[in-house]
Amino acid sequence: MDKGLSQSQVTSITQDVRNYLWVGTIAGLNRFDGIRFKTFSKKDGLQSNVIMALYGASNGVVWISTAKGLSRYNGYRFENLKMPAQKMSFDFSVITEDANGNIYAYDFWNGLFVVKGTSIAKVPLPSEGRSATCSYRDQQKRLWVYIYQQGFYELLNGIWTKTIAITGLMPREFVRSMTESNGIYYAITNKGTILKIQGGTVIQRKRYEGTFRSINIDDDHNLWVATAHGALLIDSGTLLLKQELNAQTGLSDNMVNIVFKDTDHNFWIGTDGDGLFKYSGGPFIRYDKNNGLIGNVVMGFAKDKNGELFAGTREGTLLKYNAAKKTFQASAPLKKAINGVNCMGSDPQGNIYVGTMENRLLKIHDGQLSEIPLEKEHRPGIYTIKSYDGLVCVHTTMGSYWIEGNRAQKIDGISGVVNSIALNGNEILAGGSKGCFTYAYKSAAKPVHIPGLEDVNISCFEKIGKYIVIGSFDEGLFFWDRARNRVRTYNRENGLADNNVFAIMKDFSGNLWVGTSSGIQQVHLDSATDHISIRQFNIADGYESSETNLNAMIEGDDHSIWIGTTKGAFIYDAAADRKRTVGTPATVIESVDYPGAETTTGQELSAWEHLPPYPKIAFANNSIAFSFKGIYLRDPASLLYTYKLEGYDTAFSRLQHETTLNYMGLPPGRYVFKVKAVTNDGIAAANIAEYPFTIITPYYKTTWFKGLLVLALIGIGWVTQLIHTNQKRRRRKEIRKIQEQEQQKIREQTAADFHDELGNKLTRISILADVLQHKTDPADEEKNKIIRQIKTNALGLYAGTKEIIWSLSKESDDLNEVLLTIRQTGVELFSDTAVQFVFTGLPDTDAAIKIPPGYNRHIIMIFKELLSNSMRHAGATRVMIACRKEGPDAIGICFTDNGIGFNKAHIRGNGLNNIQRRAEKIGGLLQLHSAPNEGTSCSLIFSLKK
């Protein structure tokens, strides 16, 4: 097996937890899934392409020893470990781990090392001055090391304990490799010695010529030993040689570096120059030109009167099977079969009949060869030779013949017959290219009508249960229920490997063996349910797909099944089939593809398969494709797959061969794709590969969008109503504006009249007070005081009327005028006093700010009240009013004084309540703060929008 392998010199083999096989060569690292190799090299991150050793750790990491040191592969990338600085060259030939998962690497020259993080450290050996020659991890996960000329030591928690003493080895002989089975250990040395160890003692040893390099043991307790020229198969009980495995037996004459057994119990043999070989065991043994046959095209079998089995090949003469040596030996040559054998048969007396490629019918009786002529002038081509009740029937291209002694009698009324079968009594059913016939000895043939077989080219027959089974060229199998004259058909569509059927035989257990142009299968009929099941055989069973030759089947005395094919003779052993271990496949998802997938890298990807984890797929791209496979090194071609999309499918699918799958038009939701590999024998994978993903719900399918849509409809109705309401409000507002304009005109007129009438009278009162004061004696202080009070009240009343008149005028919505009024009030109030009054307001650029109608009077009265209270009660020396913007549509006016302050809880009166009510009427926020000896502050913040 070197097709796809990076190089033919195999140095090491291991298997990871996913069942992948890893093969190291001197020109690259290879990963094998049973069908294809994937190659890794320096361009992928390896330090060197020369691979020395491999190990698949229990945590899934693959460890690689190269010519430049130790590396590990974690599914994402290769990581090269730091080597000790004092050493420039390492040759780690064994990598293993202990029960705690610590990784050890053994170098013949440099000793044992343990991995510490990203570097390695040397492990002190139990004996100074002695080298370690072998490292081994046993089935109990114990780490052993063989110390030269001393024996085996076990390393546990950093402490060495001697377990086995090895004596009797030759000078410079040491243990190189080990294996075990059922508590017995087998060790090989560099000088061809096999040691059998039990209970810490060497109980048996055997020395062979040559050098041993690797050892393993199979399920039949045979030791496989790698040598400098092929391999040896040795009985583990006696340590005696059973078979040499080399080019003559289908292996290689080159050096074998390693013999590795995988989890499916296949044996992988790595050679130095001939690549990789696989041995699957199985119930079949193959004979061809490499192990005794003269040619590979085996045309038929027959037994003589002594039960000896003979095989005939297209390329040569008869061969007799030697059961003791399990090989074929050449029999007496057939002088008249120069071009080989075409078919064979025998009779109950043990005579063997041979149809040759020269169209001769030969008979062998007691070792004597004779020819039986079928026609006087012609030699028809012979198809098959059948035996019935002591008589032999021969079917040829020119008709069918009964053979009596050395004479042939032609059967009347029949032609084109290829094969036949005995029915009840002495009746024979025959068939070929011209349909089916029945006949008996010395009677003419009669045609038989079988439904659906009118134009079928028949090749062979057999009986099972109530059926006559009929094989055909190119149309499969027909199960004919003769009693009902009904036919069931089996072909490639319902389980048969091929529609070209060349041989059918029922064995001792009642199973049918069906040979086709592409392989052999076993057909079982359940008589209770009338169910027919078909089992395919392939390379995992030791059977290589090949064309079965016409009627070339026979059952041995030990119930073995012999099958003649174009690639040799295959012998099936039922006992070996029952006891063999076949392993289980593993399932992996190789790739996931969906539109719009975001590119993810690094640790965001799932290791080994490198899949984007838990993707969320847009509903517009709601399709996803999967590629998956089973890893089953025994027989990858036998795998079928069953899958289920959880959240979409209700159950797993039927078994299928396809390894790709595409889901399209998936509705929104969360899904988990699950797939499992199953062999055609029903062996399910140890795992179900799973892949979760989500199809995102589009906005127009979400609950919130539907709710929003309902709200939008409600909103449309509300907006419609609002528009109608606004129109009514706008009409009312226009009416109110007209009314306000009329009121404004009335206010302005009233203000003018009020100013003219009341102002003139107050002015007159003030003037009369001045006249009266001039006429009053200046010394009369009491009268002058009253006159001054009259004048002062008149002037105050006049100032008050000005404010009333101003508030009634059309300029009453001007903020700047409101502020000027407040400032003027403060200036007049604190003039001729020791109080310093400060007013800061808006700059001139904000002079156009308007306030809502009706606000002016409330604002002025709030701050007039504050100024008056400060003047009368605070005893302040400084009073300040500041105006500023609090936002795009808000104004703040703040009053502060440094007076004596007051406790709000002790103040009773209407002043503060009036201030609060006025602020509420304009929707303003009034904040008043005062405390004894801390002064008073009050701020009013109001909106410019009513």
Mean pLDDT by 10 residues, the chain (946 residues): 83 94 96 93 93 94 93 90 73 90 90 90 83 89 90 89 90 92 94 93 93 92 94 94 84 93 92 90 84 87 92 85 84 74 92 93 89 92 92 93 92 90 90 91 89 92 95 95 93 90 95 94 91 84 89 94 95 85 88 69 58 80 88 88 94 93 90 93 90 84 79 87 86 77 66 61 69 76 76 64 55 78 84 85 67 85 88 88 89 92 74 86 90 90 85
Question: Which pair of tokens denotes residue 716?
Answer: 């449309």
In the prediction, which pLDDT does 577 show? 84
Could you give the C-alpha distances from 612 to 61, 281, 773, 847, in angstroms and in order?
20, 40, 106, 66
| Distance, CA of 679 to CA of 688 (rounded, Å) | 14
| Distance, CA of 229 to CA of 211 (rounded, Å) | 9
Q: Return the SS3 of 674.
A: strand
pTM, full prediction: 0.64
- Residue 821 · residue 815 · CB < 8 Å: no
DSSP string of 133-148, one letter each residue: EEEEE-TT--EEEEET
- Domain contains 239: no
Structural domain span for residue 540:
289-579
In sign, the C-alpha dihedral spanning 358, 359, 365, 368 is negative
Name every residue whose Cβ is closer than 8 Å to that of residue 114 and which is 6 or more positions away in sequence.
Answer: 102, 103, 104, 105, 120, 121, 123
For residues 908 and 762, membership in a common domain is answered with no
Pairing of strands 616-617, 689-695: parallel
In the prediction, which pLDDT does 604 show? 53
For residues 521 and 628, membership in a common domain is answered with no
In the prediction, which pLDDT does 601 show? 45
| Distance, CA of 512 to CA of 189 (rounded, Å) | 49
| Distance, CA of 569 to CA of 287 (rounded, Å) | 5
- Domain contains 345: yes
Q: Which amino acid is at 942?
A: F
- Residue 631 · residue 34 · CB < 8 Å: yes
Question: Which pair of tokens denotes residue 594?
Answer: 């969906």
| Distance, CA of 342 to CA of 312 (rounded, Å) | 8
Domain end among 554, 579, 604:
579
* Cα Rg of the chain, angstroms: 55
Q: Return the SS3 of 125.
A: coil
Domain end among 676, 698, 720:
698
For residues 609 and 569, membership in a common domain is answered with no
In the block, tokens 């130095």 appear at 272
- Domain contains 14: no
For residues 443 and 537, membership in a common domain is answered with yes
Pairing of strands 309-313, 298-303: antiparallel
For residues 502 and 618, membership in a common domain is answered with no
In the prediction, which pLDDT does 383 show? 95
In the prediction, which pLDDT does 603 show? 47
Residue 728 DSSP one-character state: H
| Distance, CA of 141 to CA of 156 (rounded, Å) | 10
| Distance, CA of 828 to CA of 784 (rounded, Å) | 23
Query: Quick one: which of 507, 543, 540, 545 has its CA closest to 523?
Result: 507
Residue 877 DSSP one-character state: S
In the block, tokens 């044992």 appear at 112
- Domain contains 563: yes
| Distance, CA of 330 to CA of 310 (rounded, Å) | 10
For residues 505 and 370, membership in a common domain is answered with yes
User: 10 Å Cβ neighbour count for 626?
Assistant: 22
Query: Quick one: which of 139, 141, 161 has its CA closest to 151?
Result: 161
- Residue 631 · residue 22 · CB < 8 Å: no
In the prediction, which pLDDT does 845 show? 47
In the prediction, which pLDDT does 810 show? 46
CATH of the domain at 936: 3.30.565.10
- Domain contains 114: no
For residues 294 and 428, membership in a common domain is answered with yes
| Distance, CA of 900 to CA of 603 (rounded, Å) | 73
For residues 917 and 827, membership in a common domain is answered with yes
| Distance, CA of 241 to CA of 227 (rounded, Å) | 13
In the prediction, which pLDDT does 375 show? 92
Residue 608 DSSP one-character state: T
Cα of 94 vs its chain's centroid, Å: 32
CATH of the domain at 316: 2.130.10.10
Residues in the chain: 946
For residues 842 and 804, membership in a common domain is answered with no
In the prediction, which pLDDT does 717 show? 86
Ranges of H-type helices in 776-809: 781-808
What's the pLDDT tens digit per position in 246-289?
Answer: 887 778 899 999 999 999 889 999 999 999 998 887 888 888 88
| Helical (H) or strand (E) element with 371 | strand 368-371
| Distance, CA of 49 to CA of 690 (rounded, Å) | 35
Domain end among 683, 698, 713:
698
- Domain contains 131: no
For residues 430 and 565, membership in a common domain is answered with yes
Total structural domains within the chain: 4
